[in-house]
Amino acid sequence: MRFKDKVVIITGGDKGIGKSTALAFAVEGAYCVLGYFQDRNAAQETAQLIRESKNAVELVRVDVRLKKECERLVERAVSTFGRLDIAVNNAGVSTMNLAVDLTEEEWDFNMDVNAKGVFFCCQAQVRQFMKQGKGGKIVNVASVVAKRPAQFFSHYAASKSAVLGFSKCLALEVAQQRIYVNCVCPGLVRTSMQEREIGWEAGLMEISEEQVRRNYISSVPLGRLEEPVDVAKVILFLASEDSDYMTGQAINVAGGMEMAL
């Protein structure tokens, strides 16, 4: 098992990409610390699935917009399991609107969770890795829309572009300490977030939700919507020793929607 006895933090670990990632780590022997915000029931369900695989798990409610809570998440991981080895910063939000109609609240909501949340989490994680002196792995979940335009997503794209730029600079700064920082850039992933977006887009474009789904699928060269486990597999690769000569990278996991680096 690649991650036997490794300690992993996963924000947004209660559902979607975070849930699939947590379960995949658990199957490979990791101790999981799941950060969640609102849906405790979903977090408990994910934790129970991990326990069924005979692995330890800790649940921590965290608002990644608050620096102290991000620091507390790392502190809980260390106090519970003794150290931190890997961090997956996956917590994210979205809304949809034309750029000219965006409210300040929409802009701030996306930037605060998606960009500032990654900054606060990475800062706390890197400090712990430096304290331990044995390196570590960070995987930040960005998005393919940080690389290609998408209608109604200017604010979301800005927040995820910030994740890419920040991650690359951080990777450069901490490389000598053997702290690896990489990103995954998912595409159209079948999650509860996507279901909300389909409804919003249908309303904005005045078409049916089924037509939105067909449009999504037709935009993917591989011809299907992405599953959370598709992203989880690449996250685990970036968290493993197999990626030890990679840092500052942003890997597309989008079914061919974006083929540039």
The catalytic site residues sit at 156
CA distance 13 to 54: 18
CA distance 254 to 251: 9
CA distance 58 to 80: 8
Stated as kind and residue range, the H or E segment containing 140 is strand 136-141
Beta-carbon contacts of 240 under 8 Å, excluding residues fewer than 6 positions away, are 2, 3, 137
**Burial of 180 per CB tally in 10 Å (0-12, 13-18, 19+):** buried
In this structure, the strands spanning 136-141 and 57-61 are unpaired
Per the CB < 8 A criterion, the answer to whether 117 and 91 are in contact is: yes
Classified as helix, coil or strand, 206 is coil
Q: How many CB atoms lie within 10 A of CB 134?
A: 12
Beta-carbon contacts of 93 under 8 Å, excluding residues fewer than 6 positions away, are 109, 110, 113, 114, 193
**Burial of 101 per CB tally in 10 Å (0-12, 13-18, 19+):** exposed
